[in-house]
Homo-oligomer: A and B are copies of this chain.
Amino acid sequence: VKPKRSSPAAPPQALILAGGSGTRFWPLSRRRRPKQFLALDGEATLLQATLQRLQPLVEPSAVWVCTTAALCREVARQLPEVPRRQILAEPEGRNTAAAIAWSLSRMPARLRDAPIVVLPADHRVADPAAFRLRLGQAIEAVRERDLVVTLGVVPRWPETGYGYLRLGRTLDERSGLRRVSRFTEKPDLARARRFVRSGAYLWNAGIFVFRAATVLREVERHLPELHAGLRKMGRERLRVARLYGTLPAVSIDVGLMEKLSIVATLPLDCGWSDLGSWAALQEVRPQDDRGNAIVGEVVALDASRNLLFADSGLVAVLGVEGLAVVRSRDSVLVVPLERSQEVRRILAELEARGHAVLL
Contact = CB atoms under 8 A, between A and B. Distances in A.
A325 B334 contact: yes
A320 B332 contact: no
Interface residues of A, number: 32
A284 to B, nearest CB: 22
Interface string A307-327: 000000111111110010101
Contacts of A315: 331-332, 334
A334 B314 contact: no
A320 B335 CA distance: 6
Contacts of A314: 27, 330-332, 350, 355, 358
Contact of A320 (B313, B318, B336, B343): B336
A235 interface: no
A299 B346 contact: yes
B334 A316 contact: yes
A77 interface: no
Can you tell how many copies of this chain the complex includes?
A: 2
Given A299-B349, A301-B346, A349-B299, A331 B319 contact: no
A332 B335 contact: no
Interface centre among A299, A329, A334, A350 (most CB of B within 10 A): A334
A335 B345 CA distance: 23
Given A318-B342, A318-B343, A346-B299, A334 B330 contact: no
A62 interface: no
A333 interface: yes
A331 B299 CA distance: 11
A310 to B, nearest CB: 8
Contacts of A332: 313-316, 325, 327, 332
Contact of A319 (B299, B339, B355): B339
Interface centre among A316, A330, A342, A358 (most CB of B within 10 A): A316
Contacts of A330: 313-314
Interface string A61-100: 0000000000000000000000000000000000000000
Contact of A301 (B323, B349, B355): B349
Contacts of A329: 313
A339 B319 CA distance: 7
15 contacts: A27-B316, A299-B346, A299-B353, A313-B330, A314-B358, A316-B346, A317-B333, A317-B335, A318-B336, A318-B339, A318-B343, A319-B335, A319-B339, A327-B327, A334-B334
9 smallest CB-CB distances across A and B, nearest first, come from A314-B331, A318-B335, A319-B339, A313-B330, A317-B334, A332-B332, A316-B346, A327-B332, A299-B349
